[in-house]
Amino acid sequence: MTRSDERIKASSRSDQWSEAVVRPRTTESRVAVHRRLVLVFALSLVTLLTVTGVAVLLSLRADDCSGPDGEGTRAGAGPRAEGGRGNGSRGERGGDEEEKPWRRSRLPGSLLPRHYDLDLRVHMDNFTFTGEVSIRLDCVNATKYIVLSASRSASRGVGGAARVLRHFSVPANQMYVLALHRELRPMRTYRVNITFQAVIENDLLGFYRSSYLQDQEKRYLAVTQFSPVHARKAFPCFDEPVFKATFSLSLHHDPQYTSLSNMPVESSSLAEDGWLTNRFAQTPRMSTYYLAWSVCNFTYRETHTETGVTVRLYARPDAIASGAGDYALQITRRLLGFYQQYFNVKYSLPKLDLLAVPKHPYAAMENWGLSIFVEQKLLLDAEVSSSSYQMELTMVVVHEICHQWFGDLVTPMWWEDVWLKEGFAHFFEYVGTDFLFPKWNMEKQRFLTDVLHEVMLLDGLSSSHPISQEVTEATDIDRVFDLIAYKKGAALIRMLASVMGQQLFQRGLNDYLTTHMYSNAARNDLWNKLTQAMQSAGRDIDVREMMDRWTLQMGYPVVTIVRSQSDEILNSDIIISQEHFLYSQETATLRINISYQWLIPLTVAMGNVTVISQESLIWINNKTEIHRLGEIDDDSWLLGNIDQTGYYRVNYDLNNWRLLTQQLQTNHQIISVGNRAGLIDDAFNLARAGLLPQDIPLQLIGYLPGEHSFLPWHAASRVLYQLDRLLDRTENYSVFSDYVLQQVSSRYHRMGWPSPVTTGAVMQASYQTEELQRELIMLACSFGNKHCHRQAVALISDWISSNKNRIPPNVRDMVYCTGVSLMDEDVWEFIWMKFHSSRAVSEKKVLLEALTCSDNSFLLSRLLNLSLSSELVPEQDLIDVIIHVGRNPHGRHLAWSFFRDKWTLLNSRYGEALFLNSKLIGGVTEYLNTEDELNELKEFHASEGGGPAMSRALEVVEGNVRWHRLHQRHLYQWLRKAYDNTAHAY
């Protein structure tokens, strides 16, 4: 849409979107300078297979913006100034940027985009689109260069009376440069217009296409995925988060399709050629990677919040008709109200659409007003979906809705602080889910096993990294989107919220959001607001001083608590020390000159067989400190990190471990559920790191037959599965599996199996009971309980003979897997057939994963090769197939060989997608544990690279091999000594 020679009128709007826009100041009188620079060049992007000549029209205009309604930007208040406020943002631009700004990894700050008019004509018949973008720019500093983000660009020459000296692409930095004849002058507004033609690609990034079956007919849709740096694949822009602007989008397409974008349709019209034009309302000021649109044949259902926000869920027509989207739609309506109340900040847009697409590189993307989900994270079939599936879907929705505030409304200044949005959204997965379903108790329980314990595994490696890490190149951005950003970010936020208390925490978040809405922020902006909230309550805690230790250093501490044995120190004193926890003590020894210290909020309590004291908060700042708790008799034990609110492990002297073990055996309920789970996780991981004898954790879980709560069992199952995969190919494996079955058998038989569910109701009343029952069945079947095997085989046989699936949804994954493992090839073929015929996305996922459980190497190889075809297995599911085959001891080497043989194909398919490549590398190598496999991995790493994910994989496998060398023999010795290794009828 061309608007050359149009005066940029002073805005009189009073809404927050425009008020949040910073404005330039000048004392010059109003002048108007009209010049045109015309050039033709070819814009070639990674997603563009065919490129036309591009006409660029620059309308140069200088407007007086000194009045209150001016629409400029304050000089120096753009990205450069924001990045230079000392807010913990690196990568600021220097004064020499004008010499050759394209040599820098980031865009220069001389020009700031104010507004984009984007006009697209989408041809779904041949998957092409033509477009024109008109960008209104404010000049902050004089410049002769217009530098835009573009994946690649190729010049075709300049025609007409253009005052452009040259124009060229910089592929290494994904930039396109226009070198001008004259400088653009500060405090003036300009416009650049670019037209282009491109292909809607068949991949997962930029503007891409997907397909689905409706009434046996293949249909197509086109959708965007711009995060983190893929808007530049679709159109030239200032594709960095700090360059916020408003967007006006028009989409032209065949009227049989529906088009969606961030904002509601403002006007709709049919042209003489029969094409439909939808013009969408102007967006708030936002980053390019949150712009979104889609052209599809979907239908929808809608609801409305109490404040009048329209919420719609779009999906395949048959999914909408079946009601598969109703659950997500209703919880979204409730969540918008919850977040508005919690943050005390109103949702900013008039609508929110949820779009379920068949193919997407991630679980979901939080585009403002148009959040896009892969189908299996949004659609719920009540008759076949398990409680675990419902929980996972719920948390994905909760996560994305939180982003409408943390991410969309307030955006991190730069990618080094991506955890400012991802950590918060991940933390609120549990807080928001507790709002929806208080009985699930997610934040106090599942957070521990699913977030804290999981990320500590990764963060205990020497190849880990600080949560805030420097990002300079566009190719480096992918590596900051990992479990450290998401899960460690969430764990640190939870720890800080616990220290502050909910009221002060909410007050600080409200101040942070209201101060920085429609703008960008860095971590110090958050720390300042939280510190102010603390000071308002008379609490003198410098949040920045505390949190810099946790965000700028990698890893976490192990806090060791030892009661004094010295006559010179009272028996009420305890000695507390902190050290950097690493699984490799060899690495820890080498890092002796690297002194990591944390400011640790350590909570400690004392207890005995009948009572536990109130917790005490002790701030630990030094390597070793002595603190007085009170009288500690010989039979009292110490317990640290109460309810696991802190991001650290706790170790004790061996006598204290003995007392804790005895307490669990005598009366485990004296210790909270969260701490019982924490003790199990800490003990096993301290032993794996060589900081505890191998028998301590095994003795600790000896109380489990009497454990009635889900969380300790879940914590135990996680560490036992890790041990299982280390031992499952060893000669004496049955010694270990018999030991596990001894712990599981009695509780498994008491809990029994769920009755078949025929009502279609998902997540019945007793969630904790259902989850414990599921956990015990999974352990029993996995480790060879004969009753469990017979039950699974009977359920599968009934399904095959009756063609009626009466298997309870909550245990279908275990039953399918066990049946495929124990029964013949015909069962595998039956499950493969059901995978293709099922229309329920949750059921398809479970069926596909069950196929990886076979003991038949031929079938596993067949599945791996069939999964390469996106017509048979969705592209994003191939990674899960490879990983699950690798988890099967009969398929581990097959998956590893397949991964190496197909690396070029896999890397080309998933290399640019966040998470997918690192998920694949980590998943397929995680349980390699022999010297030969380690050497193969080293050779592969040397020849193919693989980036940080491969370095982490190498360290994990080295740790697996080292554990076998140092600890396997001691583990088996204790098991043989403690238990009679005779046949058991489990």
916 three-state secondary structure: helix
* Residues near 766 by beta carbon (within 8 Å), at least 6 away in sequence: none
- Using a 10 angstrom Cβ sphere, with 0-12 exposed, 13-18 middle and 19 or more buried, the burial of residue 801 is exposed
Alpha helix ranges (H) inside 648-766: 654-667, 673-688, 695-700, 710-727, 733-751
| β-strands 624-628, 573-580 pairing | antiparallel
CA atoms within a 13 Å half-sphere pointing along the CA-CB vector of 463: 17
Q: Is 749 annotated as a binding residue?
A: no
Query: CA–CA distance from 498 to each of 75, 452, 673 (Å)?
Result: 41, 14, 18
Q: For residue 746, how far is the Cα from the chain centroid?
A: 38
Q: Is 399 annotated as a binding residue?
A: yes
Q: Which amino acid is at 344?
A: N
Element of type H or E holding 901: helix 892-901
**Quick check: 683 and 674 in contact, CB under 8 A?**
no
**Quick check: 710 and 779 in contact, CB under 8 A?**
no
90 secondary structure, DSSP code: -
926 three-state secondary structure: coil
| Residue numbers annotated as active site | 400
SS3 annotation, 192-233: EEEEEEEECECCCCEEEEEEEEECCEEEEEEEEECCCCCHHH
* Residues near 82 by beta carbon (within 8 Å), at least 6 away in sequence: 89, 242, 413, 519, 520
Taking only Cα atoms into account, the Rg of the chain, rounded to an integer number of angstroms, comes to: 30
Q: Is 403 annotated as a binding residue?
A: yes
| β-strands 143-149, 175-184 pairing | antiparallel
**Quick check: 130 and 121 in contact, CB under 8 A?**
yes
867 three-state secondary structure: coil
Token pair recorded at residue 819: 């049946």
- Using the Cα atoms of residue 692, residue 693, residue 694 and residue 699 in order, give the sign of their dihedral: negative
Q: Is the peptide bond before 228 cis (omega within 30 degrees of 0)?
A: yes
Q: Which residue has the tokens 């030239």?
A: 236
How far is residue 382's CA from residue 390's CA, in Å, rounded to a whole number? Answer: 9
Residue ranges for the known binding site for Zn(2+) are 399, 403, 422
Residue ranges for the known binding site are 399, 403, 422
